[in-house]
Structure 1
């Protein structure tokens, strides 16, 4: 519907982006903020990012999520969005995860490990997990084994399925060896997680790492 309206406005010689921009600049576009943010994200320019940034703090989670999508669509900084991985609303964190896809370095690994802690809300932990596993191959194996070794109730099943997927699809192409420190860490985690993974998988991981 928005695409049709935008087409009609352009055909009439007007700019839909200007209409969205002016409407958002008005005081409290109650009830319309989400649609206006989405519309500007669809037809605005990079210069409109500053118009959209305040809506990342809107009281409505749906508006915040829409603002995340719009800001990234218009080339906004991933760093500004990355801080919203701790948003109290799962719908916002899901939008952040999608916006950060292909941006593995947007959040420092140390911060993601902090967010993965058991005391974090489940949706925040899931977002941190998915960002960690997207970092690189050995961080992916590390976080999967960490969750399995910890017998993590919330994320353990995801970690096991992901480790199985890595073993089937990606292990054979893991040409770059991990650092010595990472190798030692992973060796200990394999020992701790072995009751939850197959002996064949444990043997495969040890063989790749060159540990006994």
Structure 2
């Protein structure tokens, strides 16, 4: 519907982006913020990012999520988006994960490990886990084994499935060898996780890592 409306506005010789921009500049576009943000994100330019940034703090979770998508689409600052991985609304964190899908290094690993702690809400922990998995091969194996060794109730099953998938599909193309420190750390985690993953998988992981 928005695409049709935008087409009609252009056909009439007007700019849909200007209409969205002016409407968002009005005082508190309550009830319309989400649609207006989405519209400006669809037809605006990089210069409109400053108009959209305040809506990352909008009281409506769906408006915040739409602002994340619009800011990302128009090339806005990823650091502002990344800071919302701890948003209290799952819909916002999902939008942030999507926005950062091809940018795994925007959020420092230390921050992601903080968000993975048991004190964080489940949706925040899931977002942190998925970002850590995307960092690099050995961080992916590390976080999977960490969750299994910790007997994590919420994420343990995901970690186990991902570890199996990595062993079958990606281990053979892990061209970058782990450091000695990483090998020692992963070796300890394999020992702790072995009751859950089984002796065969534990042996396979040790073989991949070159642990005797």
TM over 0.5: yes
Q: 2:36 aligns to what SS in structure 1?
A: helix
Q: State whether structure 2 residue 203 is matched by structure 1 residue 166.
A: no
The ranges of structure 1 where at least 4 consecutive aligned residues each deviate by more than 6 angstroms after the TM superposition are none
For residue 202 of structure 1, report the CA deviation from its aligned partner.
1.3
2:129 paired residue number: 129
For residue 199 of structure 1, report the CA deviation from its aligned partner.
2.4
Q: State whether structure 2 residue 195 is matched by structure 1 residue 180.
A: no
Q: State whether structure 2 residue 88 is matched by structure 1 residue 93.
A: no
Correspondence 1:129-208 to 2 at 5 A: 129-208=129-208
Aligned-CA RMSD value: 0.7
How many residue pairs get aligned? The number is 212
1:53 paired residue number: 53
Q: 1:151 aligns to what SS in structure 2?
A: coil
1:90-131 C-alpha deviation (Å, 9 max, x unpaired): 110010000000101110000100100011111110000000
Correspondence 1:70-89 to 2 at 5 A: 70-89=70-89
1:51-82 C-alpha deviation (Å, 9 max, x unpaired): 00000000000000000000000001111100
Give the whole-Å Cα distance in 1 for the aligned partners of 2:31 and 2:104: 35
1:105-163 C-alpha deviation (Å, 9 max, x unpaired): 11000010010001111111000000000000000000000000000000001101111
1:113 paired residue number: 113
Give the whole-Å Cα distance in 2 for the aligned partners of 1:19 and 1:96: 27
Q: 1:127 aligns to what SS in structure 2?
A: helix
2:22 paired residue number: 22
Q: Which runs of 5+ in 2 are unaligned?
A: none
